[in-house]
A and B are shown apart, each in its own frame.
Chain A
């Protein structure tokens, strides 16, 4: 078979600005030093990063696309280097022709990558075809004079054709679509933990894209090709963005890779400088390299350790949260069932006591009355647990209306007076507000769960002396102070007084039926009404004061 068509012809036609010293076709001295300093390490870093991500994430679709981006980008940059240093005219022209190919392939790959990265799913086939339709004309016309109109021997450069206007238009349009897509995703992800990742990737891609396209465009228009050299540096921005996303948002499902990639990149950039700078500076660079390597190792190790610990904690947190939720729903279910049975029992005992089934012998009535009291207490306990659970879940509805708090407290004190008197306590109510204590809220819940609860508590925990309830006004707040001469509160008990199921150290000795939910519910309801509840005590055996502040309602005088 004849392979002679593989052997390039006409390599003897050369540009006169260089002398081919390498392989008879290249002259590295033509290009500015900056070319090697920026292009060579960028190729190295991009390929390393692409390959690292590809291997570490087990060749997932997004990592495959990223590897293709890295390869295409590297080939493009290698082609740019060839453009600078090649001497034969036809070789330069060939490399120049293919620039259009790498540009357009990058457009397709980056658009595809952005979609898969952000949506975490395959790009719909229709979108893929749209991309193909956009780029197919360019690919088909690359060998034509529409891509490159000819070659200017005097300036040793190819003359861009009309196709490039289209290429730049496609590049800019796709960049804008990607940015819009990222912004829309960012807005749609309110409340998501990885919300920012879409926007950061969008910005990263756009900085890379803008640097890349603009430098090419400006270079082509002004014919100052040194401007083109700046473009590929944008790739460093994209790589840094990805490294950040990997560490911060676990992009590519990788954890530690980002820190390693950053260190390797820094190392590669410094390594490249080693070949460029004057010999005296080389020692400094070599020293810096060693330092970077040492510091990098320490950094990567510490990041790895930290990430592993964080992962363990996150896992435990998740497990705990699931266990908590399961326990809560079980508790909710059981409480709900028990409440039903207890309510039926209460109704049955009440009917017996009331004589609904005929005359009741005295011993049976005594037993029935006692059972009714116990069953009602049981209902209250279960209701407390259910209410606390509902308040925590936020499924409690408040039927708000305006009512007079002073009147409510006065009624409550009258209602609880027999209980206090039975214990030999004095229960008194004092209104120092001067009237007009109207508040806006759920009267029933505030009465039962807040004030009745707290006053009842004070009576329970006061063996002798008195319990006083006082209402007063402080600007726009209505303050109720429930003071007693009871057992008092120790500083330790104060810590978990208003917590769910929280008990004082010795509280169960005094109140054996305490569920520990009463004050938790009181606090939740007070806060739901924009108020505050807290306790004060001078210590054990020195009594306590519960202060409840609620905002005055709109009808307040």
Chain B
């Protein structure tokens, strides 16, 4: 038995992926703080090279 009409499948896929993007970004960035940080020292060093 088909639960959803075929025509709403593409919207559903986009919706699910969008929710994934939001929650995964939230979790990784704001909760796990897994962001590669570039500090001034690094950029100063690279400039001097």
Chain A positions near chain B (C-beta within 8 angstroms):
5, 8-10, 13, 89-91, 93-94, 97-98, 101, 105, 108, 122, 125, 128-129, 131-132, 135-136, 139-140, 142-143, 145, 148-154, 159
Asked if A143 and B36 sit within 8 Å, CB to CB, the answer is: no
Asked if A139 and B18 sit within 8 Å, CB to CB, the answer is: yes
B2 CB-CB contact with A under 8 Å: no
Task: Find the A residue at minimum CB distance from B23.
Answer: A143
Asked if B25 and A89 sit within 8 Å, CB to CB, the answer is: no
Q: Which B12-43 residues have C-beta < 8 A from chain A?
A: 13-14, 17-18, 20-22, 24-31, 33, 35-40, 43
B11 / chain A contacts, CB cutoff of 8 Å: 128
Residue among A122, A136, A149 making CB contact with B7, cutoff 8 Å? A122
The minimal Cβ–Cβ distance linking A114 to chain B, given in whole angstroms, is: 16
B45 / chain A contacts, CB cutoff of 8 Å: none
| CB-based A-B contact count at 8 angstroms | 90
Given A8-B30, A94-B26, A94-B29, A132-B10 contact (CB < 8 Å): yes
A150 to B36, CA, bound (A): 5
The minimal Cβ–Cβ distance linking B36 to chain A, given in whole angstroms, is: 4
Asked if A129 and B18 sit within 8 Å, CB to CB, the answer is: no
Asked if B31 and A5 sit within 8 Å, CB to CB, the answer is: yes
B49 CB-CB contact with A under 8 Å: no
Residue among B25, B27, B35 making CB contact with A98, cutoff 8 Å? B25
A8 / chain B contacts, CB cutoff of 8 Å: 30-31
Asked if B21 and A90 sit within 8 Å, CB to CB, the answer is: no
Residue among B30, B36, B43 making CB contact with A149, cutoff 8 Å? B36
A154 to B39, CA, bound (A): 6
Residue among A91, A122, A139 making CB contact with B14, cutoff 8 Å? A139
Asked if B22 and A98 sit within 8 Å, CB to CB, the answer is: yes
B13 / chain A contacts, CB cutoff of 8 Å: 132, 136
The minimal Cβ–Cβ distance linking A148 to chain B, given in whole angstroms, is: 8
Asked if A139 and B36 sit within 8 Å, CB to CB, the answer is: no
Given A9-B31, A94-B25, A139-B17, A125-B10 contact (CB < 8 Å): yes
Given A150-B35, A152-B38, A159-B38, A5-B14 contact (CB < 8 Å): no
A23 to B40, CA, bound (A): 27
